[in-house]
Amino acid sequence: MSNPASDKVFAGSVPKVYEQYLVPLIFEPYAHDLARRAASRPCRRVLEIAAGTGVVTRQLASVLPKETSIVATDLNPAMLEVASSVAVKRHVEWREADAMQLPFEDESFDVVVCQFGAMFFPDKGKAFSEARRVLASGGALLFNIWDRIEENEFADAVTRALESVFPADPPRFMARTPHGYHDVALVASDVARGGFVAKPEISTVAARSRAVSPRIPAIAFCQGTPLRNEIEARDSTRLGQATDVTARAIAARFGHGAVDGKMQAHVVTVVR
């Protein structure tokens, strides 16, 4: 019953739940890291692809020089609508755009940034080729991807808990897509397929995911990601039950008060 086409659908209430719960839970630490890496490079114009609800965009706006222009894009207009509604410290150009076919001229950016978006690209070599095309000579593509799900404890706990709710056909979105592109050798091969000659630098970065209660991660993953699409495709009346079951599983593993779990990602830098 798995439908990879639904993996890219961020619709309905998902974008707002994503911003409220998932961004502080798992995305903010890596947004700080990626923005810091971008700021360490000389850049007058920065492009962000797959910007989601703008967590990296806001960090870029905070750390980059005022004269640096920022263009933030996403394929999903509902995500961009939420992103553009959150206060940003400076002007950002928000654009709906497909990473597979970027609407920008050749060599028009010094840095291209992408946080946890590469896993969703249907043809990763093509997307990396487009990033390379719009980069100026000496410019850099910076992106991160999640490590395997076993290294990301809340996502793993949620996925395992849902096996008890739908034993005949457990939802596998988290393992299949967000955590399904963790082979660094494959990533390096896809980057080369995109036309980059330089060998990518790949570092593995561990961080902590924290919430005030077990229910926060349960809501974040079950209702703020396309995992919700899989749950509702199996039984549209059982989203609440699925959320409750995963909250109990997280409590059993991490405690009934504030919870703290490991997360881990790979960060890739490649120069054109």
Q: What is the pLDDT of residues 187-202, one digit of tens each?
A: 999 999 999 999 999 9
CATH of domain 4-271: 3.40.50.150
Sign for the CA dihedral angle at 45, 143, 176, 165 comes to negative
Asked if the model's pLDDT at residue 136 lies above 90, the reply is yes
Q: What is the pTM of this model?
A: 0.94
Q: What is the pLDDT of residues 112-134, one digit of tens each?
A: 999 999 999 999 999 999 999 99
Per-residue model confidence (pLDDT) at position 89? 81
Per-residue model confidence (pLDDT) at position 3? 47
Give the model's confidence band at 10: pLDDT under 50 very low, under 70 low, under 90 confident, else very high. Answer: confident
| Residues in CB range of 263: below 8 A, 6 or more apart | 26, 146, 151, 152, 153, 154, 155, 206, 207, 208, 209
Per-residue model confidence (pLDDT) at position 87? 83
Q: What is the pLDDT of residues 52-67, one digit of tens each?
A: 999 999 999 999 999 9
**Residues of 47-67 as b/e, b for ≥16 C-beta within 10 angstroms?**
bbbbbbbbbbbbbbbeebeee
DSSP string, 43-67: -SEEEESS-TTSHHHHHHHHHS-TT
Sign for the CA dihedral angle at 153, 159, 162, 167 comes to negative
- Tokens linked to 51: 């910007």
Asked if the model's pLDDT at residue 264 lies above 60, the reply is yes
CA 121 vs CA 101, 130, 157: distances in Å:
11, 12, 25
Domains of the chain, by residue range, sit at: 4-271
Asked if the model's pLDDT at residue 142 lies above 70, the reply is yes
